[in-house]
């Protein structure tokens, strides 16, 4: 087995090791990875999501350590001995190699302006950099980003999310000069300025000035302007990390970068270089797609292949401060005698430009700002004949009509992973890929930036594969279609719905789903008449069944706020009915161990004390968690408790496709964990930020920012619209996170509907929520007032009041726990625990 050493554990180094691992079935290579950062490889492309709730774990690409791969993190390579073929690290480790790959990446360039190293000056490159920016932002009012490129605008958005007033200073006449032209830059500036970011273009930074405390205080511009700056972020470009190669005598480019040939080999034939550290034909690529392509070439070469790297697609599609920006091909029109076709719709907030050959028949490149929906179709067409009038390709109607069938098999659909349409079609026909997930697994397409996913869906459709929307074998319609049918026809029962719009008798899939639809549309108490027979076990008894056949009772405690008198009642109920008591993570109290016939008596005591059902059993709103906010906390900037109570009381009892959870945090410290909820709210100095589409559980996901700095009434309107839009369009048992991910346009479309009302249904959604609010009644109290419903709550129909003899308890930590647990393989409590 030969030894391969990879210096650098970033995205490109990770891709190399992953590709080699997948292909090296004979275990020809043992790989040792040396990474300077204190963690394994993570998604640096998505780094800005760290400020939007993603954790370091969320960004992680995984640890590739295994029998044939050793990964050393937090270790810097300090010397390379080409004669001895060894690498020495800062810890004194010496690693021998047969082949070496330099994937050392780049470092942010910091211009040598006076004061660039003052406390409060930062770069934007690693998770540690972002942690340092976050720490500085806690004491900052105003921040300045030097550099108006991609990372500069991402850094400005980060400051904005941290509650810091953001300025961007760019030396060029317009933003993102490397990717877009002056017209697109002008629109981008206006859109970004509308979001509250101050833009200064054509401006040189001449000095960072300190305040009396020795920290950053001002940024001095070339025209004498002084900008207030409590922190400064430098984002003016990168420099290849080629110092190790230079010291070892490898050839480097005039402007930096380790020189490589088309096989990604350096001037030493045992050493390769890939990613931002490499210079190929005089170019250093700062994008992930070229780095991935180099990694694939080296993996192939290490296994005896003949792959080459002859250049790379530098197309990019980005979302910056909520604004779509894309460029592809020869976006600046550098080719001789090329032609431009431009649509500049300033009022509509969109700019589109196509660069064409001199005979207007071939697409060479383009730029899209504001609306980049045509990117997935246009980018693969670069270098190909146009299918029609170029102007129609960048109008909303024309761009939407153009699909995958207009592209040849050679068109590259996924530029990040170099996947062609032909490869995707082959995955469908020969590898059995029948959905987007299958195409991702077979080809890697859509697994990086995700901009090609809409095209993957088109390719599936083109191959004749349509995903069934049928709810079950009894209904060909989806849940959303059935909801619209119920609304349009005024249907109030399952039997009428299946008779007129379905087949058969129904099943355990469609019955609860239709029950939820009827409840969402105000179909009365869920135990009224036929409704009762449709419910799942938990809904049927308005409580959660536990493992020993007993039930848990969860009274609603809005916002987690409770009076001493109510606490006493809960304690008395738990004591009198001998219930196990536990405080939940959602700021409620669970009472476990209630027998079926005890439920009405327990509810009576709780309802008389002012409690109501917490809907722990339903596909409905569970909790709105809160921190203590400005009421008690010295960091709080808004009344999180008051808002949480208002929201919970507004949305209580709201039936939905799946359970809903929410939280309100009174400041950016996020003690209520709002970004792990279906809808979460975080206070700012100006109001509230609304996040949607998060959840914990089996597949945790952080919510994404939908709208920022909202006043309370606007916030509630947006939440009303979001929840009703979700209820009307989501599939059965679909949480908000996968609902958003599955939707064409994703979060952007949700924002268009909820915030911008592009479908013109906002008023209708708000009215539907108002009907829910005004029609709400407590389900426990309704059962207690109805003898017919009460009759359901007996363990034995022929022996009312008789307890189930199969239910037994033991005692652990002074609380009753199911005795049946001993029969299920669980360890019995020790004798001293059972009597303590």
pLDDT tens-digit series, residues 58-82: 888 888 888 899 999 999 999 999 9
Q: How does pLDDT run across 368-395, given as a tens digit for each residue?
A: 998 887 887 788 888 888 877 888 788 7
Instruction: Judge contact between 631 and 639, C-beta under 8 A.
Output: yes
Q: Residue 690 — pLDDT band, cuts 50, 70, 90? A: very high
Q: Mark whether 223 and 277 lie in a shared domain.
A: no
Q: How does pLDDT run across 533-554, given as a tens digit for each residue?
A: 788 778 888 888 887 788 899 9
Phi, psi of 824 (to 5 degrees): -110, 20
Closest CA to 458 of 479, 477, 439, 431: 439
Q: Residue 450 — pLDDT band, cuts 50, 70, 90? A: low
Which residues, in sequence order, are CB contacts of 674 under 8 Å at separation 6+?
625, 662, 663, 664, 665, 680, 681, 682, 691, 703
Question: In the numeric block, which tokens belong to residue 10?
Answer: 């970033």
Residue 265 pLDDT? 97
Q: Mark whether 245 and 102 lie in a shared domain.
A: yes
Q: DSSP labels for 86-146?
A: EEEETTS-EEE-SEEEE---EEE-----TTTTSTTEEE-SSHHHHHHHHHHHTT-SEEEEE
Q: Mark whether 248 and 228 lie in a shared domain.
A: no
Q: Mark whether 249 and 288 lie in a shared domain.
A: yes
DSSP structure class, residue 66: B
Domain contains 187: yes
Q: Mark whether 292 and 188 lie in a shared domain.
A: no
Q: Mark whether 166 and 196 lie in a shared domain.
A: yes
Residue 206 pLDDT? 95
Residue 401 pLDDT? 47
Residue 336 pLDDT? 81
Beta sheet of 660-665, edge-to-edge order? 621-626, 660-665, 679-683, 688-692, 704-710
Domain contains 156: yes
For CA atoms 266, 268, 272, 273, give the dihedral sign.
Answer: negative
Domain contains 386: no
| % of residues, the chain, pLDDT over 70 | 95
Q: Residue 111 — pLDDT band, cuts 50, 70, 90? A: very high
Q: Average pLDDT for residues 175-199, to the nearest whole number?
A: 91
Domain contains 325: no
Q: How does pLDDT run across 150-186, given as a tens digit for each residue?
A: 889 989 988 988 889 999 999 999 999 988 999 999 9
Q: Residue 833 — pLDDT band, cuts 50, 70, 90? A: very low
**Number of DSSP helices (H) and strands (E) in the chain, helices first:** 29, 38
| Residue that finishes a domain, picked among 255, 280, 302 | 302
Domain contains 722: no
Higher-confidence residue: 730 or 798? 730
Count of structural domains, the chain? 4
Q: Mark whether 174 and 206 lie in a shared domain.
A: yes
Domain containing residue 512: 479-535
| Residue that finishes a domain, picked among 302, 323, 344 | 302
Q: Mark whether 131 and 175 lie in a shared domain.
A: yes
Using DSSP bridges, classify how beta strands 323-329 and 363-369 pair: parallel, antiparallel or unpaired: antiparallel
Q: Mark whether 212 and 275 lie in a shared domain.
A: no
| Residue that finishes a domain, picked among 535, 561, 581 | 535
Q: Mark whether 136 and 226 lie in a shared domain.
A: yes
Tell me the average pLDDT of the chain.
88
Which residues, in sequence order, are CB contacts of 22 under 8 Å at separation 6+?
none
Residue 59 belongs to domain with CATH number? 3.50.50.60
Domain contains 473: no
* Distance of alpha carbon 194 from the chain centroid: 24
Q: Mark whether 130 and 216 lie in a shared domain.
A: yes
Closest CA to 376 of 442, 323, 324: 324
Instruction: Judge contact between 317 and 180, C-beta under 8 A.
Output: no
3-class secondary structure, 516: helix
Q: Residue 38 — pLDDT band, cuts 50, 70, 90? A: very high
Domain contains 185: yes
Higher-confidence residue: 371 or 356? 356
Greatest C-alpha distance within the chain: 93
Half-sphere exposure of 572 (CA within 13 A, CB side): 12
Domain contains 823: no
Choose the weakest-confidence range: 244-253, 479-488, 534-543. 534-543
Q: Mark whether 148 and 183 lie in a shared domain.
A: yes
Residue 825 pLDDT? 38
Residue 432 belongs to domain with CATH number? 1.10.10.1100
Q: How does pLDDT run across 711-728, given as a tens digit for each residue?
A: 999 999 999 999 999 999
3-class secondary structure, 561: coil
């Amino acid at each position: 087995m030969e030894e391969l050493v990879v210096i650098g554990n970033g995205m490109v180094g990770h891709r190399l090791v992953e590709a080699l691992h997948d292909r090296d079935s004979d275990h020809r290579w043992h790989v040792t990875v040396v990474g300077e950062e204190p963690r394994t490889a993570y998604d640096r492309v998505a780094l800005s999501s760290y400020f939007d709730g993603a954790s370091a774990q969320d960004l992680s690409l995984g640890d590739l350590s295994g029998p044939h791969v050793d990964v050393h993190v937090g270790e810097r390579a300090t010397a390379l001995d080409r004669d001895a073929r060894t690498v020495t690290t800062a810890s004194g480790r010496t690693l021998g190699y047969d082949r070496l790959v330099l994937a050392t990446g780049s470092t942010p360039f910091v211009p040598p302006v006076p004061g660039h190293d003052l406390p409060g000056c930062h770069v934007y490159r690693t998770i540690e950099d972002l942690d340092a920016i976050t720490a500085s932002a806690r004491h900052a009012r105003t921040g300045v980003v030097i550099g108006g490129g991609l990372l500069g605008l991402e850094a400005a958005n980060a400051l904005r999310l941290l509650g810091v007033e953001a300025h961007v200073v760019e030396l060029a006449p317009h933003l993102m000069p490397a990717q877009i032209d002056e017209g697109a830059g002008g629109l981008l500036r206006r859109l970004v300025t509308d979001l509250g970011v101050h833009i200064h273009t054509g401006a040189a930074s001449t000095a960072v000035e300190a305040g009396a405390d020795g920290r950053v205080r001002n940024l001095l511009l070339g025209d004498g302007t002084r900008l207030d700056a409590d922190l400064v972020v430098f984002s003016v470009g990168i420099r290849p990390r080629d110092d190790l190669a230079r010291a070892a005598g490898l050839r480097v480019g005039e402007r930096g970068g380790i020189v490589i040939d088309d096989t990604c080999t350096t001037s030493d034939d045992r050493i390769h270089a890939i990613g931002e550290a490499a210079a190929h034909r005089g170019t250093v690529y700062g994008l992930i797609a070229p780095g991935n392509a180099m990694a694939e070439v080296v993996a192939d070469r290490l296994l005896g292949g003949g792959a080459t790297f002859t250049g790379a697609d530098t197309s990019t599609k980005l979302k910056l401060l909520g604004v779509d920006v894309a460029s592809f091909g020869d976006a600046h029109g550098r080719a001789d005698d090329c032609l431009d076709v431009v649509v500049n719709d300033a009022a509509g907030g969109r700019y589109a430009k196509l660069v064409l050959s001199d005979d207007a028949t071939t697409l060479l490149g383009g730029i899209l700002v504001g609306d980049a929906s045509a990117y997935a179709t246009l980018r693969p067409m670069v270098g190909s004949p146009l299918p029609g009038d170029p102007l129609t390709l960048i109008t909303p109607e024309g761009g939407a009509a153009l699909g995958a069938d207009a592209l040849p098999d050679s068109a590259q659909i996924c530029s990040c992973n170099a996947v062609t349409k032909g490869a995707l079609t082959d995955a469908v026909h020969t590898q059995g890929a029948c959905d987007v997930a299958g195409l991702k697994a077979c080809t890697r397409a859509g697994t990086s930036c995700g901009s090609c996913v809409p095209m993957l869906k088109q390719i599936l459709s083109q191959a004749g594969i349509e995903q069934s929307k049928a709810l079950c074998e009894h209904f060909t319609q989806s849940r959303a279609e059935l909801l619209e049918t119920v609304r349009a026809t005024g249907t109030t029962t399952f039997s009428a719905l299946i008779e007129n719009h379905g087949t058969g008798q129904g099943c355990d899939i469609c019955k609860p789903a239709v029950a939820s639809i009827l409840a969402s549309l105000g179909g009365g108490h869920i135990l009224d008449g036929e409704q009762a027979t449709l419910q799942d076990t938990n809904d049927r008894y308005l409580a959660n069944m536990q493992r020993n056949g007993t039930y848990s009772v969860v009274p609603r405690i809005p916002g987690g706020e409770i009076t001493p008198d109510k606490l006493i009642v809960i304690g008395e109920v738990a004591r009198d009915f001998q219930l196990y008591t536990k405080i939940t993570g959602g700021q409620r109290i669970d009472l476990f161990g209630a027998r079926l016939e005890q439920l009405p008596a327990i509810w009576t005591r709780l309802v008389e004390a002012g409690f109501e059902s917490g809907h722990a059993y339903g596909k409905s709103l569970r909790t709105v968690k809160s921190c203590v906010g400005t009421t008690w906390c010295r960091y709080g900037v808004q009344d999180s408790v008051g808002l949480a109570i208002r929201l919970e009381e507004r949305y209580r009892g709201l039936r939905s496709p799946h359970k809903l959870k929410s939280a309100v945090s009174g400041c950016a410290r996020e003690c209520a964990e709002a970004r792990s909820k279906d809808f979460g709210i975080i206070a700012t100095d100006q109001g509230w930020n609304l996040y949607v589409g998060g959840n914990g559980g089996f597949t945790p996901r952080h919510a994404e920012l939908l709208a920022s700095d909202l006043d309370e009434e606007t916030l509630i309107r947006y939440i009303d619209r979001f929840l009703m839009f979700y209820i009307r369009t989501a599939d059965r048992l679909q949480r908000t996170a996968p609902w958003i991910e599955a939707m064409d346009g994703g979060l952007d479309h949700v924002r268009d509907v909820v915030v911008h009302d592009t479908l013109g249904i906002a008023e209708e959604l708000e009215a539907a929520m108002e009907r829910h609010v005004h029609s709400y009644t407590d389900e426990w109290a309704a059962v207690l007032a109805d003898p017919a419903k009460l009759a359901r709550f007996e363990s034995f129909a022929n022996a009312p009041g008789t307890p189930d003899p199969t239910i037994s308890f033991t005692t652990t930590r002074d609380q009753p726990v199911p005795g049946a647990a001993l029969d299920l393989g669980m360890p019995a409590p020790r004798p001293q625990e059972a009597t303590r």
